[in-house]
Amino acid sequence: MGTLTNQRRMERGLSRDAGSMRGTLSMSEDSLPTALPMLLTMVEGPDRLPGEEESQEVLRGKLRILQADSTEVNALFMELSAHLLSINSEEKVIFVTFRTFEEIWKFTTYYTIGLLGQCMESLLLDQEFWLSSLDQEGMGIEVSIQEDTLNLMYKGILLQDGSLFASCSSNQMFDSSTSGGDLYLEQGDIAQFEPPFLDSGWTVLCLGDGARGTKPKPALEPVIPFYQWFLKSCAENILVGSGKPACDFPLQFARGTCLATADYIAEGPDELSVAPGDRITIVGLLVSCFDWFTGRMEATGAVGLVKTSLVKPANNICESADIFLDQEERMFFSLKEEQVIEETTALLKKTSENDIGYIYKLDLTNQQDSEKKTTPSGSSGKVDAEQPEIKRNIEIFIQGKVPSSHSTLTAVGTREDFVHATETLDPKAPCFTVHPVVVENSNTENLIPLLSFLDSSEYKPEFGVLYGQTPELLASSTFVGQSDEDELTAFLGVARETARKKRLYWSQSRLCFLLGKLCAGRSKFSQARVYFEEALNVPREGFTDVRLLASIYTNLAVIYLKQKNTEKYFSLVERFAALIMGIPDCIVSVENVSEVLKYVLKKAVLSHNKLAEARACFLLAKQHRRQNEGTSVVPYIERLLALSVEHSRTLNISPSQVYLSLGRLYSELSLPHLSVSSGRRASLHPSVTLSDCLSGLALVLENSSRHFGIRQQDSIPTQAAPFLHQALSFIEETAVGQNDGGRDHYHALSQVLTLCLSKLFQKHRMVGHAVCTMHGFINRSHPSQGLSVSERNDTLLWLGWLHIGNDQPDVAVDILNSVLASMPEHCTTPQEGLVLNMRGVALRCMGDLRRAAESYQAAIDVCEEFEDVPNWAVAQANLGLLCLKAGAKGLAERHLTKAVELFSELDEGRHELNFISVLLELGQHYVKQGQLQNGKGCYEWALLLAIKADHSDCQLSATRHLCHLYGTVSPDEAQCIIYNEHQLNLLRSRGDRGQEGDILETISQLYLSLGTERAFRAALDYTKRSLGIFIDLGRRKKEAYGWLQAGKIYHMLGQTELVDLYVQVAQDVGLSTGDTNFILKLLEAAGDVFFNSSQDRDKAVCFYRDRALPIAVKTGSVGTRLRLSNKLVELMLSLKLYGEAVEFAQITLDISIALGERLNERVAYHRLANLYHCLGQFELAEHYYLKTLSLCPTPLQFDEETLYYVRVYQTLGDIIFNDLKDPYDAAGYYHLALAAAMDLGNKRSQLQLCTRLATIYHNFLVDRELSLFFYQKARGFAADLNVRRINISPDQQYSSTSQYKATGQ
The H or E element that residue 647 is part of is none
What value does the CA radius of gyration of the chain take, rounded to a whole number of Å? 46
CB-CB contact of 875 with 837 (8 Å): yes
Q: What is the pLDDT of residues 1172-1184, one digit of tens each?
A: 999 989 899 899 9
- Alpha helices by DSSP H, 69-97: 71-79
Q: Is the pLDDT of residue 840 over 50?
A: yes
Residue 260 has pLDDT above 90, yes or no: yes
User: In this model, does residue 829 exceed pLDDT 50?
Assistant: yes
Which secondary structure element, helix H or strand E, spans residue 191, and what is its range?
Answer: strand 190-194
- Mean of pLDDT values over 88-101: 93
Mean pLDDT of 457-474: 84
Which amino acid is it at 839? R
pLDDT value at 372 more than 60: no
Q: Which carries the bigger pLDDT value, residue 28 or residue 1025?
A: 1025
How high is the pLDDT of residue 415?
36
Q: What pairing do the DSSP bridges indicate for beta strands 432-433 and 479-480?
A: parallel
**Mean pLDDT, range 712-731, rounded to an integer:** 82
* Cα 48 to Cα 38, 141, 655, 1167, distances in angstroms: 17, 9, 20, 65
Percentage of the chain modeled with pLDDT above 70: 89
- Using alpha carbons, select from 753, 731, 754 the residue that is nearest to residue 743: 731
Q: How far is CA 170 from CA 20, 37, 195, 209, 1048, in A?
A: 10, 32, 18, 20, 72
Task: Give residues with Cβ within 8 angstroms of 858, minimum separation 6.
Answer: 833, 836
Pick the closest to residue 760 from 725, 809, 808, 785 (CA basis): 725
* In contact, 569 and 557? CB cutoff 8 Å: yes
Strand order across the 202-206 sheet: 183-185, 172-176, 212-215, 202-206, 190-194, 164-168, 220-222
- How does DSSP classify residue 429? P
Query: Does residue 903 carry a pLDDT above 90?
Result: yes
Contact 745, 767 (CB under 8 A): no
pLDDT band at 348 (very low <50, low <70, confident <90, very high): confident
Instruction: Decide if 918 contacts 895 (C-beta within 8 A).
Output: no
Give the residue-averaged pLDDT of 1025-1051: 92
pLDDT of residue 1297: 61
- 104-108, 412-416, 549-553, 1143-1147, range with the lowest pLDDT: 412-416
- Whether residue 684 has pLDDT greater than 70: yes
- What confidence category does residue 381 fall into, taking pLDDT thresholds of 50, 70 and 90? very low
**Pick from 392-406, 466-480, 582-596: least confident:** 392-406
- Residue 940 to residue 143: CA distance in whole angstroms: 49
Listed residue (797, 820, 882) closest to 846, CA to CA: 882
pLDDT at 11: 45
pLDDT over 60 (residue 425):
no
Q: Residue 930 CB: number of other CB atoms within 10 A? A: 9
What does the alpha-carbon distance between residue 25 and residue 226 come to, in Å, rounded to a whole number?
A: 22
**1257-1297, pLDDT tens digit by residue?**
888 888 888 888 988 888 888 888 887 777 777 765 555 66
- Residue 413: is its pLDDT beyond 50? no
Provide DSSP, 216-283: SS--EEEPPHHHHHHHHHTGGG---S-SS-SS--S-SEEESEEEE-S-B--SSTTB--B-TT-EEEES
In angstroms, rounded to a whole number, what is the distance separating the alpha carbons of residues 72 and 67? 11
Least confident of 71-85, 400-414, 887-901: 400-414
Long-range contact list for 1195-1202, CB < 8 A, 24+ apart?
1196/1239, 1199/1240, 1202/1236, 1202/1239, 1202/1240
CA separation, residue 912 to residues 245, 281, 357, 923 (Å): 73, 73, 17, 16
How large a percentage of the chain has pLDDT more than 90? 41
Asked if residues 571 and 240 have their Cβ atoms less than 8 Å apart, the reply is no
Rounded Cα distance between 748 and 344, Å, is: 11
Mean pLDDT (whole number) for 1200-1229: 88
Q: For the chain, give percent helix, strand, coil, nearest 5.
A: 65, 5, 30
pLDDT for res 582: 86
Alpha-carbon gap, residue 582 to 612, rounded angstroms:
12
Do residues 456 and 362 touch, judged by C-beta distance below 8 A?
no
Dist. CA 814–CA 264, nearest whole Å? 86
Q: Are 376 and 771 in contact (CB under 8 A)?
A: no
pLDDT at 52 over 50: yes
User: What does the alpha-carbon distance between residue 1061 and residue 304 come to, in Å, rounded to a whole number?
Assistant: 88
pLDDT in tens, 1187-1203: 998 888 877 778 888 88
Long-range contacts of 1157-1162 (CB under 8 A, 24+ apart): 1158/1191, 1160/1122, 1160/1126, 1161/1191, 1162/1188, 1162/1191, 1162/1192
Question: How large is the average pLDDT for residues 522-531?
Answer: 91
Q: Kindly give, in sequence order, each residue whose CB lies less than 8 Å from that of residue 820, ignoring residues fewer than 6 positions away.
A: 832, 835, 836, 839
pLDDT band at residue 410 using 50, 70 and 90 as cut-offs: very low
CB contact at 8 A, 1046 and 1065 = no
Instruction: Read off the pLDDT band of 403 (50, 70, 90).
Output: very low
Name, in order, each residue with C-beta under 8 angstroms of 726's C-beta and a sequence gap of 6 or more. Answer: 683, 688, 693
Specify whether the CB–CB gap between 635 and 624 falls below 8 A.
Answer: no
Mean pLDDT of the chain: 84
Q: By three-state DSSP, how is residue 165 classified?
A: strand
What are the phi and psi torsion angles at 11 (to 5°)?
A: -65, -45
Span 975-1003, average pLDDT:
92
Residue 922: Cβ within 10 Å count: 28
Strand order in the sheet with 279-282: 303-307, 292-297, 279-282, 257-260, 311-313
Helix (H, G, I), strand (E, B) or coil at 545: coil
Q: Among 745-749, 886-890, 929-933, 1297-1301, where is mean pLDDT lowest?
A: 1297-1301
d(CA 996, CA 1002): 10
pLDDT of amino acid 445: 80
According to the model, what pLDDT value does residue 178 have?
60
User: Does position 417 have pLDDT exceeding 80, yes or no?
Assistant: no
pLDDT reported for residue 420 = 39
| Kind plus residue range of the DSSP H or E element containing 176 | strand 172-176
- Give all strands (DSSP E) within 772-872, no chain letters: none
pLDDT digits (tens, 9 = 90+) for 494-515: 899 888 888 888 899 999 999 9
What is the tens place of the pLDDT at every residue in 213-238? Answer: 888 888 999 999 999 999 988 866 77
Region 418-430: what's the mean pLDDT? 51
Q: What is the pTM of this model?
A: 0.81
Longest dimension (CA), the chain: 171
As a whole number of angstroms, the distance between CA 278 and CA 260 comes to 5
Distance CA 888, CA 908 (A): 32
Q: Which of the listed ranges 322-326, 373-377, 866-870 does the model predict with the highest average pLDDT? A: 866-870
Q: Which of 177-181, 436-440, 630-634, 1091-1095 has the lowest mean pLDDT?
A: 177-181
To 10 degrees, the CA torsion angle through 1295, 1298, 1299, 1301? 150
User: What is the rounded distance in angstroms from the CA atom of residue 760 to the CA atom of residue 718?
Assistant: 7
Helix (H, G, I), strand (E, B) or coil at 50: strand
pLDDT higher than threshold 90 for residue 1026 = yes
Helix (H, G, I), strand (E, B) or coil at 1149: helix
Mean pLDDT to the nearest integer, 31-39:
89
User: What is the average pLDDT across 517-527?
Assistant: 90
- pLDDT value at position 442? 62
